Amino acid sequence: MKILVAVKRVIDYNVQIRVKEDNTGVVTDNVKMSTNPPDDNAIEEAVKIKEAGKATEVVAVSIGEEKAQETVRKALAVGADRGILVKTEGIIEPLAVSKLLQKIVDKEKPDLVFMGKQAIDDDCNQTGQMLSALLNWPQATFASKIEIKDGKLEVTREIDEGLETIEINVPAIVTCDLRLNEPRYASLPNIMKAKKKPIEQLNASDLGVDITPRIEQVKVEEPPKRKAGIKVSSVAELVQKLKNEAKVI
Residues in 85-124 that interact with another protein by CB under 8 A? 93-96, 98, 120-124
Round to whole Å and give the CA distance between 86 and 218: 27
* Rounded-to-10 torsion of CA 186, 190, 196, 197: -60
Q: Show the CA angle centred on residue 211, arms to residues 122 and 129, nearest 5°.
A: 55
Binding of another protein at residue 29 (CB under 8 A)? no
Q: Is 72 an interacting residue with respect to another protein (CB under 8 A)?
A: no
d(CA 40, CA 20): 28
By CB under 8 A, which span of 44-52, 60-68, 80-88, 136-144 interacts with another protein?
Answer: 136-144
**What one-character DSSP code corresponds to residue 19?**
B
User: Which CB, 195 or 231, lies closer to another protein?
Assistant: 231
Q: 130, 174, 186, 209: which one contacts another protein (CB under 8 A)?
A: 130
Q: Which stretch binds another protein (CB under 8 A): 70-78, 105-113, 162-170, 194-202?
A: 162-170
Question: What type of residue is 95?
Answer: L
Of 56, 167, 193, 206, the one binding another protein (CB under 8 A) is: 167
Task: Please report whether residue 71 would count as binding another protein according to CB under 8 A.
Answer: no
Closest by CA position to 153, among listed 138, 135, 134, 131: 138
Residue 90: closest CA among 70, 125, 65, 122? 65
Minimum Å distance from CB 54 to another protein? Answer: 20
In this chain, which stretch among 62-70, 103-111, 131-139, 196-204 interacts with another protein, using CB under 8 A? 131-139
Q: Which is nearer to another protein, 83 or 94 (CB)?
A: 94
Whether a cis peptide bond, with omega within 30° of 0, leads into 171 is yes
Q: Which of 59, 168, 194, 204 binds another protein (CB under 8 A)?
A: 168
215-244: contacts with another protein (CB under 8 A): 215-223, 226, 228-232, 234-236, 238-239, 241-243
Q: Does 31 bind another protein (CB under 8 A)?
A: no
Residues in region 181-200 near another protein by CB under 8 A: none
Q: Which of 179, 184, 199, 202 binds another protein (CB under 8 A)?
A: 179
Closest separation in Å from C-beta 118 to another protein: 8
Are the beta carbons of 104 and 86 closer than 8 angstroms?
yes
Give per-residue burial for 201-216: e unless 16+ CB within 10 Å, then b. ebebeebebebeeeee
Cβ neighbours of residue 132 closer than 8 Å, sequence gap 6 or more: 138, 139, 172, 173
Applying CB under 8 A, does 64 fall inside the site for another protein?
Answer: no
CA 34 to chain centre: 11
Span near another protein by CB under 8 A; candidates 53-61, 67-75, 153-161, 190-198: 153-161
